[in-house]
Chains A and B, each alone.
Chain A
Amino acid sequence: MPLIATMPLWPLVAYFGVVVVMVAGILALSWVLGQRRRDRQTGQPYESGMVSTGSARGPLSAEFYLIAMFFVIFDLEAVFLFAYAIAYDRLGWAGYVEMLIFVGVLAAALGYLWKVGALDWGTSRYGKGRLPTSAAGGGDSTRGKS
């Protein structure tokens, strides 16, 4: 039997209960204790004390998001390399080949991203909207023409 089947369930339930109670408690407390105002400006967005102008939904470059995403992807994939490093002697050549394929696919993906200009920060060499999937779409709502 797996480990979990032999463990009593109640600590988990208790833990779950504590979490629920605590979150509910914090929310309730802040609701009870916090001061509430109903002024004219309460609902307006705060912009360093200035009166806001225009819509809050303006275009925003998604490139920060892109970089974050690439980091997550490539960094996470490194995790597999660590796992392989621990067991490489047991996996033998087959494991080695598989790892090569894995890294190769990663390299191919990186090469593709490079070529299509997804890695270009800010000023794109090829103009905006080269990347067909949502990645480079960013703020441009008009479809790019080559």
Chain B
Amino acid sequence: MSWNWTMADAQALLPLMVVSAAAVVVLLVLACCRRAGVAGILPAGETPATRIGAVLTVIALAAALALLPVAGAAAPRSVTFLVIVDGYGLFFAGLLLSACIAVALLGHSYFRQETSAGGEFYVLLLLAAAGAMTLVFSRHFASFFLGLEILSVSLYALAAYNRASLAGLEAGVKYLVLAASSASFLLLGMAFVYAKTGTMDLGRLAQLLNAAPQPALVTVGLLLIMVGVGFKLALVPFHLWTADVYQGAPAAVTAFIATVSKGAMFALLMRYLVGVNFTLQYPLLAVLTAVAVGSMFVGNLLALRQENVKRLLAYSSIAQLGYLLVTLLAAGPGGRELAIRAAGGFLAAYFIATLGAFGVVSLLSSPQREAESFDDYRGLAWRHPVLAGVLAAMLLSLAGIPLTVGFIGKFYVLAAGVNANLAALVAAMVINSGIGLYYYLRLAIALFTPSRAEPPPRVAIHPAGAAVLAVLTVLLVAVGVYPQPLLRLLAAVVAL
């Protein structure tokens, strides 16, 4: 296939290129700094490598974020047959990049005392960000798989970043084995679909799906692809890894897995399933509905008695993704616009609250000791009143209480569901919101009750992490009260 570069192509791909280049640059800088700072000379605090890595990473991510409007000037544009840069992709890329900046800063606070951790965290983070962006821009099986693997491979290492702890190793191995096997399902599914339809273009595929009922092989292929996707999104029944990986990974990485990795995958799924008339694709409809309802119930029920905060948030994220699937099912021919907006709104709300919640966990943790049991949080309101307030606000947002952005997200999803007459799904969502309340409130109230055991020592709060939490909290309330700017942005996205 012959294809020539134009400036517009370069312009559209600029953010992606910045992030990719940054990964290589940070890698080289780390190598040099490591050589310069030989053992014994360095202070016990941050090594130059981590500090330089963090600064460079944040600058690169912020630059990519700032370049999105530049890319937007060239959008919508297909760059080769692999990648499409359009408003939809740019919105989600912006969301992902913002989340990556937050994760980078949280990671920086987390590794503050670590002398030997090096700055590889930032290289992996940048690579994962590049993979995630490829996913949201992809329009072809090849770029889909490529983005997914770049993201996954970085995450294997990130999940096991705390090599010293058994839980960290377990997280890494579990994620590696399960992600690799789910990726093989995905590939098999792609092969089936290609064998029958002869196309690897995701857009063409969506058209074909609407044209007529498809042969069984295509349906089987699509369902196999769903296995790969469902794994990444941690949907029931592919959720088994979630709690262990969330628990074992450093809190900042957990925040990344919960937000960026899932958000990128969902953006891709939504882009191509939106507008598909599911009534023609009955098996797909049945499976997605079952998966959505199952995720809500299983996630919420498993979270109910959870005594480990990271596991609790893991199960909660399973349920949240279940809610998010409702928008996908509501995205039939009539409800396309509303569903895309709802998905964007809900994901934005979910990102803010999840990053905030894991941010608090991350600030209280260190590589030596993850603050994850309920006992670490009992009486937090006395030790760190502001952190306790922030965590309570994040939990209320996840529960979808007004005045927080979570309410806007939940309202949007409900609206999309009602609009598409998905009465059963809406009812399931309402019931699950009730179940969810129980454990969100349980944790929220634990913050305000005196601790039974010896309270953990007060930790020093790193300014970078504190800044992230401050921004997230302001966003949480501001968008919750006055969602106008977010809605305007979403309207622009739908216009593509």
A interface list, Cβ under 8 A from B: 1-2, 4-5, 90, 92, 94, 104-105, 108-109, 111-112, 114-116, 126-127, 129-130, 132-134, 137, 143-146
Contacts and interface: CB of A to CB of B under 8 A. Distances in A.
Interface residues of B, number: 32
B240 to A, nearest CB: 23
Contacts of A146: 37-40, 42, 47, 115-116
29 contacts: A1-B198, A2-B194, A2-B195, A2-B198, A5-B198, A94-B4, A94-B5, A104-B24, A108-B28, A111-B31, A112-B27, A112-B31, A114-B31, A115-B31, A115-B35, A116-B31, A126-B38, A127-B39, A129-B116, A132-B116, A132-B117, A132-B120, A132-B163, A133-B157, A134-B172, A137-B163, A143-B116, A145-B115, A146-B39
A21 to B, nearest CB: 23
Nearest to B30: A112
A144 B163 CA distance: 11
A55 B38 CA distance: 37
Contacts of B116: 129, 132, 143-146
Q: Residue among B28, B42, B160 with the most chain A CB within 10 A?
A: B28
A144 B30 CA distance: 18
B32 interface: yes
B118 A132 contact: yes
Interface string B314-346: 000000000000000000000000000000000
A25 B179 CA distance: 33
Contacts of B160: 134
Interface string B379-419: 00000000000000000000000000000000000000000
Interface of B: 2-5, 24, 27-28, 30-32, 34-35, 37-40, 42, 47, 115-118, 120, 157, 160, 163-164, 172, 194-196, 198
A115 to B, nearest CB: 4
B194 to A, nearest CB: 7
B32 A5 contact: no
Given A112-B28, A146-B47, 19 more contacts: A1-B198, A2-B194, A2-B195, A4-B195, A5-B195, A94-B4, A94-B5, A104-B24, A108-B28, A115-B35, A126-B38, A126-B39, A132-B117, A134-B163, A146-B38, A146-B39, A146-B40, A146-B115, A146-B116
A100 to B, nearest CB: 13
A145 B38 CA distance: 11
Given A129-B116, A146-B39, A146-B42, A90 B24 contact: no
Contacts of B28: 108, 111-112
Q: Residue among B34, B120, B172, B198 with the most chain A CB within 10 A?
A: B34
A83 B182 CA distance: 29
Nearest to B120: A132
Given A112-B28, A115-B34, A133 B39 contact: no
A145 to B, nearest CB: 6
Contact of A105 (B3, B24, B120): B24
